[in-house]
A and B are shown apart, each in its own frame.
Chain A
Amino acid sequence: MDINKQLELYQFEKLNQALFNNHPDAIYILDLEGNFTMVNEVVCQITGLEREQIIGKSFEPLVRAEDLAATIERFLMAIKDMPQRYETAIITKEGVKYIDITNFPLKVDNEIVAIFGIAKDITEKKQKEHELEKYANLLKAQNAELEVFRKIIAHDMRSPVAKAIGLARLLEENKIPDEKVDGVKYYLRKTVESIDTMVRDLNEVISLKYKGMEFKTDVVINDLLNRFVALFSNEIKKLNASVTIKAAPDVSVSTIGAYLESIIRNLISNALKYHARHRPIEIVIEAAATYDGVEISVKDNGIGMDLTKVSGDIFKMHKRFAPDLAEGNGLGLYIVQQQVKLLNGNITVESKPDQGTTFKVFLPR
């Protein structure tokens, strides 16, 4: 061979060696059975294995189980003279690593004798992708909730506002017959109060999202129930309702007191609101310890509901099922469900039309 040609060959070989050894990515050669015949230093760095542990062995044990079938598929396609570019995952001592692989065949005299591989460690990039996906999902969920808030404002809040305007205008124009004036004033007050309730509930729902981890304390259920029944004593007396508490004095749970109070308050309020008009109100509140927590139930003999029609909707925002009674705005049960979830518990409901409703809240120990 001509001396210049020899020099050229020498430079080219040196160049190849430099490329092979200094490239920041893993470069390797696989035989047609998928065994490593040559690896650069980075292959050892990424896998955490010594050269002797890799050479002569198959790539398969390195690959994460759920990615193996697809990776083998890619290798087989490369052997059939189809270059491949794909992502897969390998298991190393440092855990799972995500890699971006290029495979192409090495040909001698037009015959495929081996497969070249270039593998880039994209673990960090993948982690960022996962986080982005997590935030995207969070955003989607929050947008869905925003849409519900928008509907609440467009429909539920506008309704009492329109009524208040109508009533106020009538009073202002002084054209109402005397015997009806008191009625109009009463309705105006009730309407404005219902707007106030709605605004407060909305605020509570929104601020629930921003509460961090509050402190857990041991709450004696019996005490809490008695306290709340006392809170409602005026309304209970006015409605001639009988409220019975059945909770052993030793039943307690470690939980966030404020949330549990809000849950009980909402459930009692509900039971009082949706009472049947033609029979005396009876509410029974029970609390019992279970093997893994506490179950509190609030049972009323009120108007009940047809669960076959409403079951999925009952805890959703702004669904009212007996809107001719009281100023319901439908947020109470949504709040209850959110709080129960925050306490890692769950809530169920049983009900039959005109026979009453029972809510059961389970809280883990």
Chain B
Amino acid sequence: MLKRIYVIDDDEISLYLSKITVELFDATIDCRCFDDAHKALESLDKDIEKGGQPDIILLDLNMPVMSGFEFLAAIKPMESKLYNKCHIYVLTSSVDEHDRMRVMESGLVVELLQKPLEPGKLEEISKLLPKCQ
């Protein structure tokens, strides 16, 4: 069961799309949108402290200021705390094979998904998650 999802993407339309897709899948999910990966990091820190880390992070790659790759590097120190609790799905429009390989180097990334996010995928993801904690 998915309780909290972070969506990190610099593009407002992409954020809107992801948010609506999540709402249509399950309106009870707390879906938080961040247009800046820095803000997402701050929020993540606070949520981890309260024991309320997101179950899923949908992460875009191509962002100015802080890219998806930089975000993955920044959360490496938290990997042990988040392992098996927070699953990252890189959601990108990129069809570049190099990106896929780089991204899988992070221990928290489950899969690289291509935009647009499909509701069927959300269903699949929620089934893969361990039972509600």
Please give the residue numbers on chain A whose beta carbons come within 8 Å of chain B beta carbons, in ascending order.
151, 154-155, 158-159, 161-163, 165-167, 169-170, 175-176, 180, 183-184, 187, 190-191, 320-324
* A163 contacts B116, C-beta separation under 8 Å: yes
Q: Provide the bound-state CA to CA distance between A321 and B17, in Å.
A: 23
Q: Provide the bound-state CA to CA distance between A190 and B14, in Å.
A: 13
A contact face: mostly helix, strand, loop, or mixed: helix
* B62 contacts A162, C-beta separation under 8 Å: no
Contact flag A155-B20 (CB < 8 Å), given A169-B116, A323-B10, A324-B12? no
* A162 contacts B116, C-beta separation under 8 Å: yes
* A187 contacts B95, C-beta separation under 8 Å: no
**B96 in the interface, Cβ–Cβ < 8 Å?**
yes
Q: Provide the bound-state CA to CA distance between A159 and B35, in Å.
A: 16
* B10 contacts A170, C-beta separation under 8 Å: no
CB distance from A234 to the nearest CB of B (A): 24
Q: Which residues of A contact B95 (CB under 8 A)?
A: 154, 158
Please give the residue numbers on chain B whose beta carbons come within 8 Å of chain A beta carbons, in ascending order.
10-14, 16-17, 20-21, 24, 35, 62, 64, 93-96, 114-117
* B14 contacts A180, C-beta separation under 8 Å: no
Q: Provide the bound-state CA to CA distance between A180 and B23, in Å.
A: 12
* B16 contacts A320, C-beta separation under 8 Å: no
* B114 contacts A162, C-beta separation under 8 Å: yes
Q: Which residues of A contact B35 (CB under 8 A)?
A: 324
Q: Which residues of B contact A163 (CB under 8 A)?
A: 11, 13-14, 17, 93, 115-116
Can you report 25 residue pairs joining A to B where beta carbons are below 8 Å apart? A155-B62, A155-B94, A158-B93, A159-B11, A162-B114, A163-B17, A163-B116, A166-B17, A166-B21, A166-B116, A166-B117, A167-B13, A169-B116, A176-B20, A180-B20, A184-B20, A187-B13, A187-B16, A190-B13, A320-B64, A323-B10, A323-B11, A323-B64, A324-B10, A324-B35
CB distance from B69 to the nearest CB of A (A): 13
- Excluding A162-B93, A323-B11, 10 further A-B contacts by CB distance (< 8 Å) are A163-B13, A163-B115, A163-B116, A166-B117, A167-B17, A175-B24, A176-B20, A180-B20, A323-B64, A324-B11
Q: Which residues of A contact B24 (CB under 8 A)?
A: 170, 175-176
Q: Provide the bound-state CA to CA distance between A161 and B10, in Å.
A: 16
Chain B residue with the shortest CB-CB distance to A321: B64
Question: Which of A166, A175, A187, A323 has its CB near the most chain B CB atoms (within 10 A)?
Answer: A166
CB distance from B130 to the nearest CB of A (A): 29
Q: Which residues of B contact A190 (CB under 8 A)?
A: 13
Q: What are the 6 closest A-B residue pairs judged by CB atoms, nearest first?
A: A166-B116, A162-B115, A159-B93, A162-B93, A158-B93, A166-B17
Question: Which of A159, A187, A320 has its CB near the most chain B CB atoms (within 10 A)?
Answer: A159
Contact flag A159-B116 (CB < 8 Å), given A154-B95, A187-B16, A191-B13? no
